[in-house]
Amino acid sequence: MHIRLVNFLFNLPFSNYIGGFIKKKLLKNKNFYFIPTKKDKLPKNNYPIQNSIEIQKKLIENYNKNNQLSFNTFPDLKLILQKKFKPEASFNFLDFGGENLDFYLDISKKFKNINYFLINLPEINQIMIKIKNENNYKNLIIINALDEIKNYDYDFIFFGSSISYVNNYNNLIKKILPNAKKHILFSATFFFNGNDSIKNIVVKQLNYLPKLYYIYFINLDYFVKLFEEYNFKIKFNEKNDTSNFNMKTFEYLKIKNIKNSNILFSKNN
């Protein structure tokens, strides 16, 4: 199907009423899972809750029995931490948007003295608090509100494909940076460059049909400037290989180098 026709179909007002089956047929062969929109911000209630106490208990049970982890947008996270911290080190780790407690179990098993901070939507936070209390996870600290982030300092902050779902993400970064001491990792986040007049674009995400999400694609040049004031520099910027997507639907926007990226920022001493 012609790229302009795909864009046209999915930006029409009635596109929200096209059945998921039809959308899948339209997109199947070309992997057109992201379509640019004319929105300037993410809609409210953009991220439907897909979590429960039962799901967390199953993840924990599976990890304890089989030592297996659920899907992670950055499978090498523990390896990165091992390069940065000794097993006996005491440090603060913030998982922004974390929603699978088997990751907490796996990392805290390797680092006995870690303080594992986690923040998500209020509904998910309540699930995590209940599981924490039932299992006496003493080094798991649930942050209930964004304003509470400033109550702690963090040696390592992990955004596992979560920053793209945050409205006013730039304000969030500015709020976190004063308390970020060493490293900040963004995984499976879409960045672009080549157009200084565009800070970000709102994209319709279709690879979870019939569920529909919206995310930000972010101008990397603009994003990096947020970190420069606090003396953070990019240590690596690599392609995320967990999924492959066709980006030809963005050619008419005149933005370049769209990449699903893993980016590590580290603070210069």
Asked if pLDDT for residue 13 goes beyond 80, the answer is no
Q: Is the peptide bond before 210 cis (omega within 30 degrees of 0)?
A: yes
The pair of structure tokens assigned to 122 is 């209020």
- Model pLDDT, residue 31: 66
Domain residue ranges in the chain = 43-200+216-243+255-267
- Model pLDDT, residue 10: 47
Mean pLDDT computed over 181-192? 96
List % helix, strand, coil for the chain (3-state, nearest 5).
40, 25, 35
Q: How far apart are CA 184 and CA 180, in angstroms?
A: 8
pLDDT band at 8 (very low <50, low <70, confident <90, very high): very low
Q: Which of 241, 145, 254 is nearest to 193 (CA)?
A: 254
Question: 43-200+216-243+255-267 — its CATH code?
Answer: 3.40.50.150
Buried b (16+ CB within 10 A) or exposed e, 152-168: eebbbbbbbbbbbbbee
- Model pLDDT, residue 48: 62
Strands 200-205 and 213-219: antiparallel
Q: How far apart are CA 223 and CA 177, in angstroms?
A: 13
pLDDT, tens digit, 9 for 90 and up, residues 150-180: 999 999 999 999 999 999 999 999 999 999 9
The pair of structure tokens assigned to 60 is 């924990």
The whole model's pTM is what?
Answer: 0.88
The residue ranking higher by pLDDT, 216 or 11, is 216
